[in-house]
Amino acid sequence: MASTTRLGVDVNHIPLSEDNDALVWGRRYFLLAYGLVVLGLVFVFSSSFPLAGRPTPGYGDAYSFLKSQLLFATVGLVAMWIISHVRPRWLAALSLPGLFVGLVLMILAIILGRQVGHSRCWLPLPWGGKLQPSEFAKLAYVIFCATMLNRGPVSWENRYTVILPIVAATAAMVVVLVEQSDQGMAMLILLIALAMALLGGARWQYLVPTGLGLLGAGLAFAATKPHIWRRILAWLHPGEYLQGPGYHIYNMLIALARGGFVGTGLGMSPDKWKNLPVPHTDSIYCVIGGELGTWGAVGVMVLMVLLTAWAFRIARASGSRLGWLLAATVGLSLTLQALVNMAVATASIPTTGLTLPFISAGGSSLISSLMGIGVVLSVARHSQRAAQG
């Protein structure tokens, strides 16, 4: 197998050292994820009690969202623990069936699901509630692509064994997501694909024009969808769309600005009562910035970046190319989603509808994110150093 070096790491010959001990970093990684879950529970309650406590049909219990999130966290932590005990090569073997099942469920969501806004990405469950299959398909997709990259570097020689399967999986995900009108998740999948290609050895001079081409194609597609194009125009000129998407952009920025450097205090943001769009999901980062201030918002951003930094430390200590790719790509995908959510909250990009991993309310997002943590912990648990110990 040809050796390739990217980001300062030869992924075919991973150096092992005491500083990069996978088990030590695995414990730290678990504590980081657990801390984010606890932070999410705090802010799910803080951002949701104005809505949940209303004396209107379907509401009336200020703790309802917190109770649901606590249940989802419990399920997610159990799933994380189970996955952490599964060997990475078994996870790799299950990735293709998992991706296939995820795509089938996403298609069923289009046929049977409930439409929310312009999207149809939720599948009703027999016992009540709903499931967003794309969150789980996304994790299977990342593991599948890491498995393909394990065959060799991204190069012309490996175009049939590496590049073609990844392109096919990416195209399938994007096509179904576009049919669901979930353009935010489709954009995230493309970002993850480009990032994984870089980790797999692709050269910048090929990735940059590819990325620009995808951006151009995305804008051309958006121009054919009035509601998407309206979001882009509202992002560019929010003052002209105050009766629509611009209203949300303004209020997200106001909520962040109101917090200043030190914040209004936990639970004290006034914007979540009426002005913020879905403050317990898409706009929860604005609630954090409003109540904890700039330092709190930056702190959360740092914690999310550590999801990748510490995953890379585990990857370096894994002692195998597959372990490197699984830990690095899963950790990076979680951080990319978090950064996209934060970019929307700060009006750096148009609105996408993506949740903030571990923190936004919602069972599908929380459980799938914790399952991703389980994959990284599996690499740490079954690293060469751990096996020798």
Contact between 333 and 98 (Cβ < 8 Å): no
Lowest mean pLDDT among 31-45, 91-105, 146-160: 146-160
Residue 285 confidence (pLDDT) above 90? yes
Average pLDDT over residues 365-378: 97
Confidence label for 57 from pLDDT (cuts 50, 70 and 90): confident
pLDDT at 5: 45
pLDDT at 8: 39
In this structure, how many other beta carbons lie within 10 angstroms of the beta carbon of residue 387?
9
DSSP at 68: H
Average pLDDT over residues 198-220: 90
Residue 154 confidence (pLDDT) above 50? yes
pLDDT at 252: 92
Confidence label for 3 from pLDDT (cuts 50, 70 and 90): very low
Contact between 379 and 146 (Cβ < 8 Å): no
Average pLDDT over residues 221-225: 90
Alpha helices in the chain (DSSP H): 22-52, 64-84, 88-112, 133-149, 164-179, 183-199, 204-222, 226-236, 245-259, 284-316, 321-345, 363-381, 384-388
Nearest to 255 by CA among 291, 281, 231, 280: 291
pLDDT at 44: 96
Q: What is the mean pLDDT of the chain?
A: 89
Confidence label for 59 from pLDDT (cuts 50, 70 and 90): confident
